[in-house]
Structure 1
Amino acid sequence: MKFPVYLDYAATSPADPRVAEKMMTCLTLDGVFGNAASKSHSYGWQAAEAVDIARNQVADFIGADSREIVFTSGATESDNLAVIGLAWKFQGGERNVIITSAIEHKAILDSCAFAEKLGFQVIRIKPDREGRVTPEMLREHLNERTLLVTLMHANNEIGTVQDIKALADTAHEYGALFHSDCAQSAGKIKIDVREQAADYLSFSGHKLYGPKGIGAFYIRNTAPRPEAVVHGGGHERGLRSGTLATHQIAGLGLAYEIAGQCFDEENARIRDLRERLRHGLCSLSGVLVNGSLRERLPGNLNLTFRGVNGEQFLLALTKIAVSTGSACTSASVNPSYVLKALGLSDEEAHASIRFSLGRFTTEEEIDFTVDYVKAEYLKLKAKGSFWK
């Protein structure tokens, strides 16, 4: 085993070696290094072909048309394009309400806060105790003034999966558009835009064994085009300007193709490992699961360890790499806003740890983690409760 044992795949995943090798072929003079926008020579043509192949790989992965895929710098930019791009497009119109949830990624919550500055009303639905937003909960807030509903497919902290098909259908009953952040769910939960009628979807590369700094935005061909957030050059049909990063795009495409090929087998194995970890740790008194057990990402396990100081506990776990929540807010000393929205106290939220498993997690690593975390938890707990 390599120490510390890596169990923070929800923060980022290592690139698959096949993806890294593919990217290398797009970086040097004897490879496909050209600018895809260069139309006057073979270097540009080769780069454009590599981009087209990747666009088709991503489209095939979700059952879309390749013309519905726009490459971005990541899911954060895609989220901004969906929320702020649509807010700019429809600013001053009759539809001036955006609906989201209180447990969305900061890329959505901060974009919605910006939309408020543009004059939009933002409704943030509080989910149930397991982090779910039901169609009935959504319907309570929908009306003819709703422009957009944006609800993530799977939560990055607690792993709860939303029924985006039902939620999108509910939004459409009122003429609202529907967007979902699929950064965490892609490759773990089936996504098929022919069955799930979302108008916009956001994707990331580095959450699925691809490179960082690259993502994709799906826009249904019948949906309104958002206003561009990044300007200059008119790349990606005017939706996202900037020289296309051929090596990152090629890596993203291959990563999604590989994920589709091993989807069932890989997720079944990871789910079994997660359950092995859950049964091992939840055998301890005072350890509770956060989020839904049934509607959950296969590799996510968020646990509250009652009776200990969460910060001290995490600092004691030097032989494993885990987190207390989203990597985007890990520098904050505040308790997780996601867990707080579920009803946990500050102390419970501070004493919660997210374990996230992935393609390279082994049974040996899980067994080690169970024994190691048990020992450290009981050791700290024996010193007395640090909760106020």
Structure 2
Amino acid sequence: MRIRARVIGGGIGGTATALALHKAGADVVVHEAHPDSAEDLGAFLTLASNGMRALAQFDADAAVRAVGFPLREMRVLDAAGEEIGRGPLGEADDPRLRFRCVRRGDLNAALQAEAVRRGVDVRHGVRLTAVEEGPDGVTARFSDGGSATADLLVGADGLHSTVRETIAPGVRPQYAGQRVFYGYTGAARPPGAAEQITMVRGSRAAFGYAVSPDGETYWFARVADVPPKAPGGWREPLVELLRADAGPAADIVAATHDAIFATDATEVPVGTPWRSARTLLVGDAAHAASPATGQGASMALEDAVVLAKSLRDAPDLDAALTRYEALRRPRVEHNITVSGALSRGGRPTGAPRPGEDDLVHLLDWDSTLAA
């Protein structure tokens, strides 16, 4: 089934969706409201093995492996700074599937450059204002007065999605119980091996850090009891909070002299409608979760593969979207629930994420999705 698709949002999920749809034979155009490809340079993220596996299905893993750095091992410290656990991350033995730590803006830029290299039309600088569905197509209307009509409109426009408002009016992201801070420093020299991420189970914060090959420490802190911001910024309040524990966290933040980025952990409520006849939400627009499980970007990359395969293998658009939702909803909503429990200080279920056992087959580009 060859379709015309318009993707709203040129971030990680939107550009990945465009790349996967393009590989499946769709005529696809991406519309990104920001004027360039790297609008969010501040935060970083970790792509897990499932995310790297998804990228490989539409041949974008090499472009992503050219940015950031791999992570092969995790170690865990307690509040006293003592090591309480260590083990491999994901499929660490396969270079293509190793976890990867990358700045969000660099990842956006790499994916968009790959899309443009393949001939995908990526358009910047105009914002979606309205969506109108009809029996023969769906029309997107933009802030410059222009419009575009396609068979399918994919809303990959993030946490505060305009497309979601047309499908699920009034649904808003919810606070998930923590504020998340990110920073970088070249001045700290924390302990740890190469290609290792260290997680600290502190008494007042969950803290993590990894050191890049050039010696820059990437760090984050997830804090429930957020201190007041000082006139000079977040550094001193965070250092004071982290000094309650031993270990490297406070010293890393104290050595951070550049900007510290802060954002609330938020989630889209489970059960939120994802689709109408010709419009579909993917990524954070559909199923944003708090960052506690570190799976947001990887889940969006999975979305891209499963949607492309559903459209490729189904007899019509309705069957494709129905199949896509049936395959994706249990898995991503389990992630919302588990990640939210971690952010709120609870204990998530130990049950495996739905679809985990069948994930390799589900993502395998050469396999067919059963009806």
The interval holding the TM-score normalised by the smaller chain is under 0.3
Q: Greater strand percent: which structure?
A: 2
Higher helix share: 1
What TM-score, normalized to structure 2?
A: 0.25
